[in-house]
Structure 1
Amino acid sequence: MTAAKTSDEVLADAAQVADIDLNGRRIIREGSHAIYQVAGGIVARIGKRGSREAAEREVRISQWLNSVGIRAVEPVESLPQPVVVDDRPVTWWRLIPDHRPATPAELGSMLHALHTLTPPNEPKLPEYDPFDTLRERLVASDVADEGDRMWLQSHYDDLRRRFDELPKPQALHVIHGDAWQGNLVVPASGTPILLDLDKVSLGWPEWDLIQLAVDYTDFSRVSEADYRSFVEAYGGFDLTTQPSFRVLADIQELRWVGFALGQATASAAVAQQAKHRIACLRGKVPRPWRWEAL
């Protein structure tokens, strides 16, 4: 069996197809996507194997959002989108220079505008599933010991039951699916730009509010003043006061544990971070928690 190509090799092959100069290329991130800055103010985004359809939809979502007044990262229209190498799609995006993460208020304002959009007929948005592949990630990891794996599976089952018992909304809304301050950046122009569009879907607006809410309640990464500015910018809805909050918070935090377990083979430090997150969920570490970014 032929070994899978590395991200560097995939990028090199895709750059040949797109006629892009790779001299001076720089890797920005290697995670669920590999992201590189290349010549000409272009960012290459390399997806997972078998994700061509999702990459094509991400390009169309960007075009749609920009057309309806939500400024989003823009694909390079003159290049082939995507180029597929070793079953991994490579898409090309315009670099956003000299930017900062959004403030909580800027994030709240953008989410309010996003959630009030009429869902498009094209591209057709999938329905957001907060449990997507989560059980598999919890079970498959060798980092967690047997006791932790059994607890994680039991916790997962309990959260599914509790979530299924929540009242369901009458309608689903356009959501980002990974809404945090780093995915909304502000360049020198002052107009925020939305990034990482691969999880844009139809779902509960609460899934876009929960990340900042738990940053405030469980991690103390957001001050009370900043959280209040987020709530006010969103229109006054405070998720932390809702009966559903703790269920949604627990699901979000379990998703973050699942992500850490999926990355745990990268290094001993990441594996230790995954174990620390499990210990937090199991009540062995008091809140506010401190989790390192991965």
Structure 2
Amino acid sequence: MSDADAHLRGVLHQAGVRAGVLTADARLIRHGTNALYQLPGGVIARVGPPGSSVVAGRQVEASRWLAGAGIPVVRVIDGIEQPTVVEGRPVTWWVQLPEHRPATPAELGAVLKRLHALAVPKCPVLSTVDPFEGLTESLDTGAFLAEGDRAWLQCLVERLRGEYRALLPGLSWCVIHGDAWQGNVVVPQCGEPVLLDLDHLGVGPREWDLVSLAADYTDFARLARADYEAFVAAYGGYDMTTWSGYRTLATIRELRWTAFVLGKANVNQKAVDEARHRVACLRGEIDRPWSWLAF
């Protein structure tokens, strides 16, 4: 066990003591921005990064609000004051889902249609989703990039920011997930599709929720035409790839996917190679459809 893993388990143990949750047999499920642990009794613990307590609290509030609004969503454990903060890290406690699979494109489209139809609540107060949040800082971490590539990426960010601002007055805003893709909606063997990962839930243009699947179809050929058409039909017939602003949002999303891999490149040579490949794609040096490795 690495020092970092041991430290996280120490934080989890202290949080469990404070919250009255057993953590002795915790099993690590995933270690990304957040560390997820499976605990006895059907509990999932989510350990956030330092300084993210406000975000964690919003996730808890969002889950409760969505459940009350009739949206099947990952549920928090009741009877515990959340988040439980240890050494600046928020720990939240969730109900473990039964066995499940990722949503089909049609199931994702149907969930997003229901979500986007909700009235924006007065409480909880939902933040405005900013597609550029943290993007410049993430691109700056790519020390292995050629200086010309880094400068080009920063110029791209500023160009896209201007294009996005110009689009905003013509867009209708609603409650959006903020990171909508098939892995963030899962389907139990019995029951409705369930919405996961509420980190980015907020208010913004519906197109930001629709663009990931659309880009999978147009730029990566990861989605068959019939599947994309099923997604569009389930959402209500709106195909955002025909919208004049589609390319702007698709490029912003692809730039975020690139920045995500840049964040892993300091400790992973495969991520270095992949990040360089993605930058070459964005620069037009590789023709679509692109092939990007999953990270």
Same fold (TM over 0.5): yes
Q: What is aligned with 2:210? A: 209
Q: Report if the CA contact (8 A) 1:143-1:261 is conserved.
A: no
Residue 84 of structure 1 aligns to a residue in which SS?
strand
Deviations 1:82-108 (Å, cap 9, x if unpaired)? 111111100000111210000100100
Counterpart amino acid of 1:41?
A: G
Q: What is aligned with 1:155? A: 156
How far apart, CA to CA, are the structure 2 residues paired with 1:65 and 1:197?
10
How far apart, CA to CA, are the structure 2 residues paired with 1:256 and 1:170?
24
How far apart, CA to CA, are the structure 2 residues paired with 1:77 and 1:104?
32
Q: What is aligned with 2:109? A: 108
Deviations 1:33-77 (Å, cap 9, x if unpaired)? 111111111111111211111111111110110111101000001
Q: What is aligned with 2:197? A: 196
Note if 1:252 corresponds to 2:253.
yes
Residue 93 of structure 2 aligns to a residue in which SS?
strand
How far apart, CA to CA, are the structure 2 residues paired with 1:264 and 1:94?
33
Q: What is aligned with 1:219? A: 220
Residue 105 of structure 1 aligns to a residue in which SS?
helix
How far apart, CA to CA, are the structure 2 residues paired with 1:9 and 1:290?
40
Q: Report if the CA contact (8 A) 2:171-2:205 is conserved.
A: no
How far apart, CA to CA, are the structure 2 residues paired with 1:135 and 1:163?
15
Q: What is aligned with 1:42? A: 43
Deviations 1:167-187 (Å, cap 9, x if unpaired)? 524642000000000000000
Counterpart amino acid of 1:111?
A: L
Q: What is aligned with 1:233? A: 234
How far apart, CA to CA, are the structure 2 residues paired with 1:232 and 1:193?
20
Q: What is aligned with 1:62? A: 63
Q: What is aligned with 1:128? A: 129
How far apart, CA to CA, are the structure 1 residues paired with 2:164 and 2:12?
41
Q: What is aligned with 2:166? A: 165
Deviations 1:189-240 (Å, cap 9, x if unpaired)? 1311100011110000000000000011111111100000000000000000
Give 1:20 deviation, angstroms.
Answer: 2.9
Give 1:17 deviation, angstroms.
Answer: 1.9
Which one is further off, 208-217 or 138-147?
A: 138-147
How far apart, CA to CA, are the structure 2 residues paired with 1:6 and 1:148?
36
Q: TM-score, normalization: structure 1? A: 0.94
Q: What is aligned with 1:290? A: 291
Deviations 1:231-284 (Å, cap 9, x if unpaired)? 000000000011000011011101111111122223222222222211211122
| Unaligned stretches of 5+ residues in structure 2 | none
Q: What is aligned with 1:243? A: 244
Identity %: 49
Q: Report if the CA contact (8 A) 1:184-1:195 is conserved.
A: yes
Q: Report if the CA contact (8 A) 2:13-2:24 is conserved.
A: no
Task: Sort the Cα spacing of 1:72 and 1:164 in 2 relative to 1 into closer, same or farther, 3 A.
Answer: same
Which one is further off, 137-146 or 232-241?
A: 137-146
Q: TM-score, normalization: structure 2? A: 0.94
How far apart, CA to CA, are the structure 2 residues paired with 1:287 and 1:170?
28
Q: What is aligned with 1:270? A: 271
Indicate the RMSD between aligned Cα atoms, in angstroms: 1.7
Counterpart amino acid of 2:58?
A: R
How far apart, CA to CA, are the structure 2 residues paired with 1:256 and 1:30?
18
Counterpart amino acid of 2:140?
A: V
Counterpart amino acid of 1:190?
A: G
Residue 90 of structure 2 aligns to a residue in which SS?
strand
Deviations 1:142-190 (Å, cap 9, x if unpaired)? 1322121111111111111222222524642000000000000000213
Which one is further off, 98-107 or 138-147?
A: 138-147
Counterpart amino acid of 1:176?
A: H
